[in-house]
Structure 1
Amino acid sequence: MKKLLSLAFAATLTFSSCSSDDDAGDMGTNVDLNLTAQRSDNYINTAALPQAILNYVSTNYPNNTIKEAEIEDNNNYEVELNNGTELIFDQQGNFLGIDDDGDDDFGDENIAPGDLPVNIRNFITTYFPGATIEEAERENNGNFEIELSNDAELIFDADGNFLGRADDDDNDDKDDDDIEVSELPQVIRDYIATNYPNNTIIEAEREDDNTFEVTLNNGVELKFDSDGTFLEAEDHNGDDDDDDDDN
Protein backbone atom coordinates (compact mmCIF):
# COMPACT_ATOMS: atom_id res chain seq x y z
CA MET A 1 0.00 0.00 0.00
CA LYS A 2 2.83 2.38 0.90
CA LYS A 3 4.48 1.56 -2.40
CA LEU A 4 1.29 2.38 -4.31
CA LEU A 5 0.93 5.68 -2.43
CA SER A 6 4.55 6.54 -3.20
CA LEU A 7 4.03 5.86 -6.90
CA ALA A 8 0.85 7.91 -6.93
CA PHE A 9 2.62 10.82 -5.20
CA ALA A 10 5.52 10.65 -7.67
CA ALA A 11 3.09 10.64 -10.59
CA THR A 12 1.33 13.69 -9.16
CA LEU A 13 4.64 15.54 -8.88
CA THR A 14 5.59 14.55 -12.42
CA PHE A 15 2.24 15.77 -13.80
CA SER A 16 2.50 18.99 -11.83
CA SER A 17 6.03 19.56 -13.10
CA CYS A 18 5.03 18.94 -16.72
CA SER A 19 2.01 21.21 -16.38
CA SER A 20 4.23 23.95 -14.93
CA ASP A 21 6.71 23.54 -17.78
CA ASP A 22 3.91 23.80 -20.35
CA ASP A 23 2.64 27.01 -18.74
CA ALA A 24 6.16 28.34 -18.57
CA GLY A 25 6.56 27.69 -22.28
CA ASP A 26 3.35 29.56 -23.04
CA MET A 27 4.48 32.54 -20.97
CA GLY A 28 8.10 32.38 -22.15
CA THR A 29 9.62 31.70 -18.70
CA ASN A 30 12.76 30.35 -20.35
CA VAL A 31 13.06 33.30 -22.71
CA ASP A 32 16.38 35.13 -22.74
CA LEU A 33 15.46 38.81 -22.47
CA ASN A 34 18.95 39.72 -23.68
CA LEU A 35 18.30 38.24 -27.12
CA THR A 36 18.51 40.70 -29.99
CA ALA A 37 16.52 40.62 -33.21
CA GLN A 38 16.95 42.64 -36.36
CA ARG A 39 14.25 45.21 -36.99
CA SER A 40 12.50 45.15 -40.33
CA ASP A 41 13.29 48.85 -40.55
CA ASN A 42 16.50 50.52 -39.47
CA TYR A 43 17.16 54.04 -38.26
CA ILE A 44 19.51 56.04 -40.43
CA ASN A 45 21.14 59.42 -40.08
CA THR A 46 19.16 62.23 -41.65
CA ALA A 47 22.22 63.26 -43.63
CA ALA A 48 22.29 59.82 -45.25
CA LEU A 49 18.84 60.32 -46.82
CA PRO A 50 18.73 60.82 -50.60
CA GLN A 51 19.04 64.48 -51.49
CA ALA A 52 15.63 64.31 -53.16
CA ILE A 53 14.06 63.61 -49.76
CA LEU A 54 15.92 66.44 -48.05
CA ASN A 55 14.80 68.77 -50.84
CA TYR A 56 11.19 67.62 -50.56
CA VAL A 57 11.05 68.16 -46.80
CA SER A 58 12.74 71.57 -46.86
CA THR A 59 10.49 72.74 -49.72
CA ASN A 60 7.15 71.38 -48.52
CA TYR A 61 7.68 71.55 -44.77
CA PRO A 62 9.91 74.61 -44.33
CA ASN A 63 8.76 75.14 -40.74
CA ASN A 64 9.41 71.57 -39.65
CA THR A 65 12.45 69.45 -38.93
CA ILE A 66 13.07 65.73 -39.20
CA LYS A 67 12.71 63.80 -35.94
CA GLU A 68 13.88 60.44 -37.26
CA ALA A 69 14.33 58.52 -40.48
CA GLU A 70 14.10 54.82 -41.22
CA ILE A 71 14.68 52.57 -44.19
CA GLU A 72 12.19 49.72 -44.41
CA ASP A 73 12.96 46.19 -45.55
CA ASN A 74 11.03 46.96 -48.76
CA ASN A 75 13.61 49.76 -49.29
CA ASN A 76 11.09 52.56 -48.74
CA TYR A 77 12.13 55.46 -46.54
CA GLU A 78 9.93 56.60 -43.67
CA VAL A 79 10.62 60.12 -42.40
CA GLU A 80 8.93 61.41 -39.25
CA LEU A 81 8.75 65.17 -38.80
CA ASN A 82 8.71 67.00 -35.48
CA ASN A 83 4.94 67.52 -35.82
CA GLY A 84 4.34 63.75 -36.05
CA THR A 85 3.76 63.63 -39.81
CA GLU A 86 5.21 60.47 -41.39
CA LEU A 87 6.31 60.81 -45.01
CA ILE A 88 7.00 57.78 -47.20
CA PHE A 89 9.48 57.79 -50.10
CA ASP A 90 10.70 55.10 -52.45
CA GLN A 91 14.31 53.97 -52.80
CA GLN A 92 15.09 56.79 -55.23
CA GLY A 93 13.60 59.42 -52.92
CA ASN A 94 10.30 59.90 -54.78
CA PHE A 95 7.46 60.93 -52.49
CA LEU A 96 4.81 58.19 -52.15
CA GLY A 97 2.44 59.60 -49.57
CA ILE A 98 1.71 60.38 -45.93
CA ASP A 99 1.31 57.43 -43.59
CA ASP A 100 -1.36 58.76 -41.27
CA ASP A 101 -4.31 56.36 -41.38
CA GLY A 102 -2.96 53.35 -39.51
CA ASP A 103 -3.41 51.06 -42.54
CA ASP A 104 -0.63 49.06 -44.14
CA ASP A 105 -0.57 51.10 -47.36
CA PHE A 106 3.21 51.35 -47.26
CA GLY A 107 4.15 47.96 -45.84
CA ASP A 108 3.52 48.41 -42.12
CA GLU A 109 0.44 48.93 -40.00
CA ASN A 110 -0.02 50.74 -36.72
CA ILE A 111 -1.68 48.49 -34.15
CA ALA A 112 -3.62 49.63 -31.07
CA PRO A 113 -2.12 47.96 -27.97
CA GLY A 114 -5.46 46.29 -27.22
CA ASP A 115 -5.45 44.69 -30.69
CA LEU A 116 -2.10 42.97 -30.22
CA PRO A 117 -2.12 39.17 -29.84
CA VAL A 118 -2.87 38.24 -26.25
CA ASN A 119 0.43 36.37 -25.83
CA ILE A 120 2.34 39.58 -26.68
CA ARG A 121 0.34 41.58 -24.16
CA ASN A 122 0.83 38.89 -21.52
CA PHE A 123 4.57 38.78 -22.24
CA ILE A 124 4.91 42.54 -21.76
CA THR A 125 2.80 42.52 -18.61
CA THR A 126 4.92 39.68 -17.17
CA TYR A 127 8.41 40.91 -18.02
CA PHE A 128 7.91 44.68 -18.25
CA PRO A 129 5.25 45.29 -15.57
CA GLY A 130 6.03 48.98 -15.11
CA ALA A 131 6.06 49.84 -18.81
CA THR A 132 3.29 50.81 -21.18
CA ILE A 133 3.11 50.30 -24.93
CA GLU A 134 3.87 53.57 -26.70
CA GLU A 135 3.84 52.29 -30.27
CA ALA A 136 3.04 49.00 -31.95
CA GLU A 137 3.39 48.10 -35.61
CA ARG A 138 2.86 45.06 -37.78
CA GLU A 139 5.63 45.16 -40.36
CA ASN A 140 5.48 44.00 -43.95
CA ASN A 141 7.31 40.79 -42.98
CA GLY A 142 4.54 39.95 -40.49
CA ASN A 143 6.58 40.70 -37.37
CA PHE A 144 5.31 42.90 -34.58
CA GLU A 145 7.56 45.70 -33.34
CA ILE A 146 6.67 47.17 -29.95
CA GLU A 147 8.14 50.29 -28.38
CA LEU A 148 7.65 50.60 -24.61
CA SER A 149 7.63 53.65 -22.35
CA ASN A 150 11.02 52.60 -20.93
CA ASP A 151 12.50 52.83 -24.48
CA ALA A 152 12.73 49.04 -24.87
CA GLU A 153 11.93 47.90 -28.40
CA LEU A 154 10.70 44.32 -28.66
CA ILE A 155 10.32 42.12 -31.75
CA PHE A 156 7.75 39.32 -32.00
CA ASP A 157 7.00 37.04 -34.92
CA ALA A 158 3.63 36.83 -36.66
CA ASP A 159 2.42 34.32 -34.04
CA GLY A 160 3.42 36.58 -31.16
CA ASN A 161 6.55 34.66 -30.16
CA PHE A 162 9.30 36.81 -28.66
CA LEU A 163 12.31 37.10 -30.99
CA GLY A 164 14.41 39.61 -29.06
CA ARG A 165 15.09 43.27 -28.45
CA ALA A 166 15.51 45.46 -31.49
CA ASP A 167 19.05 45.60 -32.76
CA ASP A 168 20.03 48.33 -35.24
CA ASP A 169 23.26 48.67 -37.18
CA ASP A 170 22.47 52.29 -38.03
CA ASN A 171 21.19 53.52 -34.70
CA ASP A 172 24.02 55.76 -33.49
CA ASP A 173 21.91 58.89 -33.07
CA LYS A 174 18.46 57.47 -32.34
CA ASP A 175 18.76 58.14 -28.60
CA ASP A 176 19.93 61.74 -29.04
CA ASP A 177 17.50 64.45 -28.01
CA ASP A 178 15.82 66.09 -31.00
CA ILE A 179 15.24 69.77 -30.30
CA GLU A 180 13.57 72.67 -32.05
CA VAL A 181 15.75 75.05 -34.04
CA SER A 182 14.78 77.79 -31.58
CA GLU A 183 16.38 75.75 -28.78
CA LEU A 184 19.82 75.88 -30.40
CA PRO A 185 22.21 78.36 -28.78
CA GLN A 186 22.17 81.66 -30.63
CA VAL A 187 25.88 81.32 -31.39
CA ILE A 188 25.12 78.17 -33.42
CA ARG A 189 22.33 79.80 -35.37
CA ASP A 190 24.57 82.79 -36.06
CA TYR A 191 27.36 80.51 -37.27
CA ILE A 192 25.04 78.75 -39.70
CA ALA A 193 23.52 82.00 -40.96
CA THR A 194 27.01 83.34 -41.67
CA ASN A 195 28.66 80.25 -43.13
CA TYR A 196 25.67 78.53 -44.79
CA PRO A 197 23.40 81.43 -45.81
CA ASN A 198 21.72 79.46 -48.58
CA ASN A 199 20.83 76.43 -46.46
CA THR A 200 18.26 75.66 -43.81
CA ILE A 201 18.36 73.49 -40.72
CA ILE A 202 16.53 70.23 -41.29
CA GLU A 203 17.39 68.51 -37.99
CA ALA A 204 18.81 69.63 -34.65
CA GLU A 205 19.95 67.32 -31.86
CA ARG A 206 21.46 67.60 -28.41
CA GLU A 207 23.66 64.57 -27.86
CA ASP A 208 24.29 62.66 -24.64
CA ASP A 209 27.43 64.68 -23.87
CA ASN A 210 25.51 67.96 -24.37
CA THR A 211 27.19 68.71 -27.69
CA PHE A 212 25.00 69.68 -30.63
CA GLU A 213 24.58 68.15 -34.08
CA VAL A 214 22.80 70.09 -36.81
CA THR A 215 21.90 68.69 -40.22
CA LEU A 216 21.37 71.09 -43.10
CA ASN A 217 19.16 70.54 -46.12
CA ASN A 218 22.23 69.89 -48.28
CA GLY A 219 23.09 66.82 -46.16
CA VAL A 220 25.92 68.47 -44.24
CA GLU A 221 26.18 67.63 -40.54
CA LEU A 222 27.65 70.30 -38.30
CA LYS A 223 28.93 69.49 -34.82
CA PHE A 224 29.28 72.02 -32.00
CA ASP A 225 30.44 71.68 -28.41
CA SER A 226 28.17 72.34 -25.44
CA ASP A 227 28.98 76.07 -25.61
CA GLY A 228 28.08 76.27 -29.30
CA THR A 229 31.65 76.40 -30.59
CA PHE A 230 32.00 74.84 -34.05
CA LEU A 231 33.91 71.55 -34.07
CA GLU A 232 33.58 69.92 -37.48
CA ALA A 233 31.42 69.38 -40.53
CA GLU A 234 30.72 66.17 -42.41
CA ASP A 235 28.70 65.77 -45.56
CA HIS A 236 26.75 62.67 -46.53
CA ASN A 237 29.56 61.68 -48.90
CA GLY A 238 31.94 61.42 -45.98
CA ASP A 239 33.99 64.57 -46.61
CA ASP A 240 35.14 66.21 -43.40
CA ASP A 241 36.05 69.75 -42.40
CA ASP A 242 37.43 70.65 -39.00
CA ASP A 243 37.58 74.00 -37.22
CA ASP A 244 40.66 74.97 -39.20
CA ASP A 245 38.50 75.20 -42.30
CA ASP A 246 35.00 76.25 -41.32
CA ASN A 247 33.43 76.16 -44.76
Structure 2
Amino acid sequence: MKNLKILSLAAASCFTFYACSDDDDNIDNTPDVDLTETAFTADTHVKTSSLPQPILDYITANYPDKTIREVELEENNNYEVELLDGTELIFNSAGEFLGVDDDGEDDFGDRDIAASELPQNIKDFLEKHYAGIAVEEAEIENNGNYEVELENDVEIIFDADGNFLGQAEDESGYDDSDDEDIAVADLPQVIQDYIADNYPDQKIIEAEREDDGFEVNLNNGVELTFDTEGNFLEAEDNNGDDDDDDND
Protein backbone atom coordinates (compact mmCIF):
# COMPACT_ATOMS: atom_id res chain seq x y z
CA MET A 1 0.00 0.00 0.00
CA LYS A 2 2.86 2.30 0.86
CA ASN A 3 4.50 1.58 -2.51
CA LEU A 4 1.20 2.29 -4.28
CA LYS A 5 1.01 5.73 -2.63
CA ILE A 6 4.57 6.51 -3.69
CA LEU A 7 3.80 5.51 -7.28
CA SER A 8 0.65 7.64 -7.25
CA LEU A 9 2.55 10.69 -5.99
CA ALA A 10 5.22 10.17 -8.63
CA ALA A 11 2.62 9.93 -11.35
CA ALA A 12 0.91 13.09 -10.10
CA SER A 13 4.23 14.92 -10.05
CA CYS A 14 4.93 13.88 -13.63
CA PHE A 15 1.48 15.06 -14.72
CA THR A 16 1.91 18.37 -12.93
CA PHE A 17 5.33 18.90 -14.50
CA TYR A 18 3.98 18.07 -17.96
CA ALA A 19 1.02 20.39 -17.50
CA CYS A 20 3.29 23.24 -16.39
CA SER A 21 5.61 22.60 -19.29
CA ASP A 22 2.66 22.57 -21.66
CA ASP A 23 1.46 25.91 -20.21
CA ASP A 24 4.93 27.38 -20.69
CA ASP A 25 4.79 26.36 -24.34
CA ASN A 26 1.60 28.41 -24.73
CA ILE A 27 3.18 31.61 -23.40
CA ASP A 28 3.88 34.16 -26.15
CA ASN A 29 7.59 34.86 -25.81
CA THR A 30 7.68 37.03 -28.92
CA PRO A 31 9.46 40.33 -28.17
CA ASP A 32 7.01 43.19 -27.79
CA VAL A 33 6.96 46.03 -30.31
CA ASP A 34 8.94 49.21 -29.78
CA LEU A 35 6.25 51.86 -29.42
CA THR A 36 8.89 54.58 -29.80
CA GLU A 37 9.51 53.59 -33.42
CA THR A 38 8.57 56.32 -35.90
CA ALA A 39 7.26 56.22 -39.45
CA PHE A 40 6.77 59.02 -41.94
CA THR A 41 3.24 60.11 -42.73
CA ALA A 42 2.02 59.85 -46.32
CA ASP A 43 1.31 63.59 -46.31
CA THR A 44 3.56 66.38 -45.06
CA HIS A 45 2.42 69.57 -43.37
CA VAL A 46 3.44 72.81 -45.02
CA LYS A 47 3.21 76.44 -43.99
CA THR A 48 0.28 78.37 -45.39
CA SER A 49 2.64 81.11 -46.54
CA SER A 50 4.40 78.62 -48.84
CA LEU A 51 1.24 77.80 -50.83
CA PRO A 52 1.23 78.72 -54.52
CA GLN A 53 -0.42 82.12 -54.96
CA PRO A 54 -3.28 80.72 -57.11
CA ILE A 55 -4.43 78.69 -54.10
CA LEU A 56 -4.48 81.73 -51.83
CA ASP A 57 -6.35 83.68 -54.51
CA TYR A 58 -8.92 80.90 -54.98
CA ILE A 59 -9.68 80.66 -51.26
CA THR A 60 -9.93 84.44 -50.94
CA ALA A 61 -12.39 84.64 -53.84
CA ASN A 62 -14.52 81.59 -53.03
CA TYR A 63 -14.33 81.36 -49.24
CA PRO A 64 -14.00 85.02 -48.20
CA ASP A 65 -15.31 84.39 -44.69
CA LYS A 66 -13.23 81.27 -44.02
CA THR A 67 -9.73 80.79 -42.67
CA ILE A 68 -7.29 77.90 -43.05
CA ARG A 69 -6.78 75.29 -40.34
CA GLU A 70 -3.95 73.28 -41.92
CA VAL A 71 -2.24 72.50 -45.21
CA GLU A 72 -0.78 69.18 -46.35
CA LEU A 73 1.25 68.24 -49.39
CA GLU A 74 0.10 64.78 -50.32
CA GLU A 75 2.23 61.96 -51.69
CA ASN A 76 0.72 62.54 -55.15
CA ASN A 77 1.86 66.21 -54.98
CA ASN A 78 -1.65 67.56 -54.51
CA TYR A 79 -2.27 70.17 -51.82
CA GLU A 80 -5.02 69.50 -49.29
CA VAL A 81 -6.20 72.68 -47.59
CA GLU A 82 -8.51 72.25 -44.62
CA LEU A 83 -10.57 75.28 -43.64
CA LEU A 84 -11.57 76.06 -40.07
CA ASP A 85 -15.09 74.70 -40.70
CA GLY A 86 -13.68 71.32 -41.81
CA THR A 87 -14.04 71.84 -45.57
CA GLU A 88 -11.13 70.19 -47.41
CA LEU A 89 -10.06 71.67 -50.74
CA ILE A 90 -7.76 69.85 -53.16
CA PHE A 91 -5.38 71.61 -55.56
CA ASN A 92 -2.74 70.24 -57.90
CA SER A 93 0.92 71.20 -57.67
CA ALA A 94 0.34 74.22 -59.92
CA GLY A 95 -2.37 75.54 -57.60
CA GLU A 96 -5.33 74.60 -59.82
CA PHE A 97 -8.50 73.71 -57.92
CA LEU A 98 -9.47 70.04 -58.32
CA GLY A 99 -12.44 69.75 -56.00
CA VAL A 100 -13.76 69.42 -52.47
CA ASP A 101 -12.60 66.26 -50.73
CA ASP A 102 -15.53 64.24 -49.42
CA ASP A 103 -13.89 62.04 -46.79
CA GLY A 104 -16.65 59.50 -47.24
CA GLU A 105 -15.49 58.82 -50.79
CA ASP A 106 -12.16 57.61 -52.15
CA ASP A 107 -12.05 60.55 -54.54
CA PHE A 108 -8.64 62.11 -53.97
CA GLY A 109 -6.59 59.18 -52.76
CA ASP A 110 -7.27 59.16 -49.01
CA ARG A 111 -10.40 58.41 -47.04
CA ASP A 112 -11.60 58.86 -43.47
CA ILE A 113 -13.02 55.71 -41.90
CA ALA A 114 -14.74 54.88 -38.63
CA ALA A 115 -12.73 53.13 -35.92
CA SER A 116 -15.01 50.13 -36.37
CA GLU A 117 -13.79 49.78 -39.97
CA LEU A 118 -10.16 49.29 -38.96
CA PRO A 119 -8.72 45.80 -39.57
CA GLN A 120 -9.07 43.50 -36.58
CA ASN A 121 -5.33 43.24 -36.01
CA ILE A 122 -5.12 47.04 -35.68
CA LYS A 123 -8.00 47.01 -33.20
CA ASP A 124 -6.23 44.28 -31.23
CA PHE A 125 -2.97 46.24 -31.25
CA LEU A 126 -4.67 49.37 -29.95
CA GLU A 127 -6.53 47.43 -27.28
CA LYS A 128 -3.28 45.86 -26.07
CA HIS A 129 -0.98 48.88 -26.16
CA TYR A 130 -3.38 51.83 -25.83
CA ALA A 131 -6.17 50.38 -23.70
CA GLY A 132 -8.83 52.88 -22.74
CA ILE A 133 -7.68 55.51 -25.23
CA ALA A 134 -10.30 56.19 -27.89
CA VAL A 135 -9.64 56.59 -31.59
CA GLU A 136 -10.28 60.19 -32.57
CA GLU A 137 -9.67 59.84 -36.31
CA ALA A 138 -8.70 57.08 -38.72
CA GLU A 139 -7.66 57.38 -42.36
CA ILE A 140 -6.66 55.16 -45.25
CA GLU A 141 -3.94 57.12 -47.03
CA ASN A 142 -3.28 57.17 -50.76
CA ASN A 143 -0.33 54.78 -50.25
CA GLY A 144 -2.60 52.22 -48.57
CA ASN A 145 -1.34 52.83 -45.03
CA TYR A 146 -3.66 53.38 -42.09
CA GLU A 147 -3.10 56.48 -39.96
CA VAL A 148 -4.85 56.43 -36.60
CA GLU A 149 -5.02 59.44 -34.29
CA LEU A 150 -5.91 58.77 -30.66
CA GLU A 151 -7.64 61.14 -28.26
CA ASN A 152 -4.32 61.73 -26.47
CA ASP A 153 -2.93 63.17 -29.76
CA VAL A 154 -0.71 60.13 -30.44
CA GLU A 155 -0.80 59.28 -34.15
CA ILE A 156 0.12 55.77 -35.25
CA ILE A 157 0.84 54.36 -38.71
CA PHE A 158 0.09 50.81 -39.87
CA ASP A 159 0.76 49.32 -43.29
CA ALA A 160 -1.96 48.07 -45.63
CA ASP A 161 -1.96 44.69 -43.85
CA GLY A 162 -2.41 46.29 -40.45
CA ASN A 163 1.18 45.85 -39.27
CA PHE A 164 2.51 48.50 -36.86
CA LEU A 165 5.06 50.79 -38.51
CA GLY A 166 5.54 53.45 -35.85
CA GLN A 167 4.31 56.69 -34.37
CA ALA A 168 3.68 59.28 -37.05
CA GLU A 169 6.47 61.66 -37.94
CA ASP A 170 6.15 64.44 -40.49
CA GLU A 171 8.98 64.20 -43.00
CA SER A 172 9.02 67.98 -43.43
CA GLY A 173 9.76 68.52 -39.74
CA TYR A 174 7.09 71.24 -39.65
CA ASP A 175 4.71 70.79 -36.74
CA ASP A 176 2.11 73.30 -35.59
CA SER A 177 -0.07 70.80 -33.76
CA ASP A 178 0.38 72.68 -30.48
CA ASP A 179 -0.95 75.90 -32.02
CA GLU A 180 -4.65 76.78 -31.82
CA ASP A 181 -6.34 77.85 -35.04
CA ILE A 182 -8.76 80.67 -34.35
CA ALA A 183 -11.26 82.80 -36.24
CA VAL A 184 -10.29 86.32 -37.27
CA ALA A 185 -12.81 87.71 -34.80
CA ASP A 186 -10.92 86.00 -31.97
CA LEU A 187 -7.71 87.91 -32.68
CA PRO A 188 -6.96 90.74 -30.24
CA GLN A 189 -8.39 93.99 -31.57
CA VAL A 190 -4.93 95.57 -31.61
CA ILE A 191 -3.81 92.95 -34.15
CA GLN A 192 -6.88 93.45 -36.32
CA ASP A 193 -6.26 97.20 -36.24
CA TYR A 194 -2.58 96.80 -37.14
CA ILE A 195 -3.42 94.67 -40.17
CA ALA A 196 -6.20 97.03 -41.28
CA ASP A 197 -3.81 99.98 -41.11
CA ASN A 198 -0.76 98.35 -42.69
CA TYR A 199 -2.31 95.81 -45.07
CA PRO A 200 -5.64 97.41 -46.04
CA ASP A 201 -5.90 95.50 -49.32
CA GLN A 202 -5.12 92.07 -47.88
CA LYS A 203 -7.29 89.46 -46.21
CA ILE A 204 -6.44 87.31 -43.21
CA ILE A 205 -6.43 83.74 -44.44
CA GLU A 206 -5.14 81.98 -41.31
CA ALA A 207 -4.83 82.93 -37.65
CA GLU A 208 -3.17 80.93 -34.88
CA ARG A 209 -2.73 81.39 -31.16
CA GLU A 210 0.69 80.14 -30.05
CA ASP A 211 2.31 79.82 -26.63
CA ASP A 212 4.28 83.02 -27.16
CA GLY A 213 1.84 85.05 -29.23
CA PHE A 214 -0.07 85.01 -32.50
CA GLU A 215 0.73 84.13 -36.10
CA VAL A 216 -1.36 85.55 -38.94
CA ASN A 217 -1.13 84.66 -42.64
CA LEU A 218 -2.41 87.05 -45.30
CA ASN A 219 -3.66 86.16 -48.76
CA ASN A 220 -0.53 87.62 -50.40
CA GLY A 221 1.66 85.04 -48.66
CA VAL A 222 2.89 87.38 -45.92
CA GLU A 223 3.17 85.85 -42.46
CA LEU A 224 2.92 88.19 -39.47
CA THR A 225 3.90 87.41 -35.89
CA PHE A 226 2.74 89.23 -32.76
CA ASP A 227 3.50 88.78 -29.07
CA THR A 228 0.90 87.80 -26.49
CA GLU A 229 -0.11 91.45 -26.04
CA GLY A 230 -0.69 91.88 -29.77
CA ASN A 231 2.47 93.89 -30.46
CA PHE A 232 3.85 93.41 -33.97
CA LEU A 233 7.14 91.50 -34.07
CA GLU A 234 7.94 90.43 -37.61
CA ALA A 235 6.66 89.99 -41.16
CA GLU A 236 7.92 87.30 -43.49
CA ASP A 237 6.87 87.03 -47.11
CA ASN A 238 6.63 83.79 -49.05
CA ASN A 239 10.17 84.28 -50.34
CA GLY A 240 11.52 84.23 -46.80
CA ASP A 241 12.31 87.96 -46.58
CA ASP A 242 11.94 89.46 -43.13
CA ASP A 243 10.64 92.84 -42.05
CA ASP A 244 10.88 93.31 -38.29
CA ASP A 245 9.37 96.00 -36.13
CA ASP A 246 12.31 98.33 -36.75
CA ASN A 247 10.59 99.21 -40.02
CA ASP A 248 7.30 99.86 -38.32
TM-score if structure 1 supplies the norm length?
0.90
Distance in 1 of aligned mates of 2:96 and 2:140? 24
In 2, Cα distance between equivalents of 1:52 and 1:8: 78
Partner of 1:184: 187
Deviation of 1:129 after TM superposition, in Å, equals 2.1
1:157 to partner: Cα distance: 0.6
Residue identity matched to 1:153: E
Q: Residue 79 and residue 10 in structure 1: after superposition, are their counterparts in 2 closer, same or farther (change >3 A)? A: farther
List gaps (5 residues or longer) in structure 1.
none
Q: How does 1:1-247 map to 2 (within 5 A)?
A: 12-21=19-28, 30-168=32-170, 169-209=172-212, 211-246=213-248
Contact 2:180 / 2:209 at 8 angstroms: preserved in 1? Answer: yes
Q: How far 1:81 sits from its partner (Å)?
A: 0.4
1:18 deviation in Å?
A: 4.0
Residue 243 to residue 7, structure 1, CA distance change in 2 (3 Å): farther
- In 2, are the aligned partners of 1:145 and 1:155 still within 8 Å (CA)? yes
Q: Give the distance between the partners of 1:95 and 1:59, measured in 2 at CA.
A: 12
**Bigger mean CA offset, 157-166 vs 129-138:** 129-138
Report SS of the residue matched to 2:243: strand
**Does the residue aligned with 2:238 lie in a helix, a strand or coil?**
coil
Q: 1:4 to 1:130 in 2, by over 3 A?
A: same
| Native 8 Å contact 1:68 1:174 kept in 2 | no
- Asked if the contact 2:103/2:110 (under 8 Å) is kept, the reply is no
Checking the alignment, whether the CA contact within 8 Å between 2:112 and 2:139 is kept in structure 1 is yes
SS in 1 for 2:229: coil
Q: Distance in 1 between matches of 2:239 and 2:154?
A: 32
TM-score by length of 2: 0.90
One-letter code of the match for 2:135?
I
| Alignment CA distance shift 1:3-1:233 (3 Å) | farther
Aligned residues: 240
What is the CA–CA distance in structure 2 between the aligned matches of 1:92 and 1:14, rounded to whole Å? 66
Query: Could you tell me how far apart the structure 2 residues matched to 1:131 and 1:106 are?
Result: 29
Contact preservation (8 Å) 1:45, 1:170:
no
Larger radius of gyration: 2
SS in 1 for 2:94: coil
Please say if residues 43 and 174 of structure 1, whose CA atoms lie closer than 8 Å, have aligned partners that are also in contact. Answer: no
RMSD: 2.0
Contact 1:212 1:226 in 2 (8 A): yes
Report Cα offsets for 1:102-158 as digits up to 9, x if no partner: 121111111111111011112222222232111111111110001111111110011
Alpha-carbon distance in 1 for matches of 2:163, 2:25: 21
**Identity, % of aligned positions:** 59
Compare 143-152 and 94-103 and name the one that shifted more.
94-103
